[in-house]
Chain A
Amino acid sequence: MPATAYLDYAASTPVRPEALAAMLPFFSETFGNASGGHAFARAAKSALESARESIAEDLGAEPGEIVFTSGGTESDNLAVEGAARAARARGRGEEVLVSAFEHKAVLAAADRLALEGFSTSRTPVSAGGIIDLDALADAIDGRTALVSVMLVNNEIGTVQPLDQVARIMAVQSPNAVLHTDAVQAAAWVDVASLAADADLVSVSAHKIGGPKGAGALVVRGGVPIVPLFEGGGQERGLRSGSSNVAGAVGLAAALRATVATMAVTVARVGTLRDRLVAGLAEIPGLWINGDPDRKIAGNVHVGIPGVEAEALLVLLDRAGVCAAAGSSCSSGATEPSHVLGAMGLDRSDALASIRLSLGFASVSADVDRALNAIPAAVTQLRASVGAPR
Chain B
Amino acid sequence: MNALRVLVAMSGGVDSSVAAALLVEQGHDVTGVTLKLWGGESDSGCCSVSDVEDARRVAAQLDIPHYVFDYTDTFDEQVVEPYVEAYATGNTPNPCVDCNRHIKFGRLLDRADALGCEVLATGHHARRVRGANGRVELERAVDAAKDQSYVLAMLTAAQLERVWFPVGELTKAAVRAYALSMNLRNAMKPDSQDVCFITRGGRERFLADRVPARAGSIVDSSGATVGTHSGIARFTIGQRRGLGIATGERRFVIDIDASSATVTVGRAEDLLRSQLRVGGCTFVHDTPAADADLLVQVRAHGEAVSGRLVEGSVVFTEPQPRVAPGQLVAFYDGSRVVGSAVVGA
Contacts and interface: CB of A to CB of B under 8 A. Distances in A.
Interface stretch (A51-59, A146-154, A257-265, A331-339): A331-339
Contact of B65 (A308, A310, A317): A317
Interface of A: 308, 310-311, 313-315, 317-318, 330-335, 380-381, 384-387
Interface string B59-81: 00000010111100000000000
B113 A384 contact: yes
Interface of B: 31, 34, 36, 47, 49, 52, 56, 65, 67-70, 107, 110-111, 113-116
Contacts of A333: 36, 52, 68-70
Among B49, B70, B107, which residue has the most Cβ atoms of chain A within 10 A? Answer: B70
A311 B116 CA distance: 11
Q: Which 4 A-B pairs have the closest CB atoms?
A: A386-B110, A384-B114, A333-B70, A333-B36
Nearest to A315: B115
Contacts of B111: 311, 386
Nearest to B55: A332
A386 B49 contact: no
What's the dominant secondary structure at chain A's contact region? mixed
A308 B116 CA distance: 15
A16 B52 CA distance: 33
Contacts of B36: 331, 333
A311 B49 contact: no
A386 B107 contact: yes
Given A317-B67, A334-B70, A381-B114, 14 more contacts: A310-B69, A314-B115, A315-B116, A318-B65, A331-B47, A332-B56, A333-B52, A334-B68, A380-B114, A386-B107, A386-B110, A386-B113, A386-B114, A387-B114
A354 B65 CA distance: 20
A138 B230 CA distance: 51
5 contacts: A310-B70, A315-B116, A332-B67, A384-B113, A385-B113
Contact of A335 (B47, B52, B70, B115): B70
Contacts of B69: 310, 333
Contacts of A380: 114, 116
A334 B70 CA distance: 7
B276 to A, nearest CB: 34
A314 B67 contact: yes
B114 A332 contact: no
Contacts of A308: 114
A308 B67 CA distance: 14
Contacts of B107: 386
A340 to B, nearest CB: 15
Nearest to A326: B70
A331 B49 CA distance: 5
A311 B70 contact: no
Nearest to B67: A314
Nearest to B56: A332
Nearest to A384: B114
Nearest to B109: A386
Among B34, B56, B114, which residue has the most Cβ atoms of chain A within 10 A? Answer: B114
Contacts of A330: 49
Contacts of B70: 310, 333-335
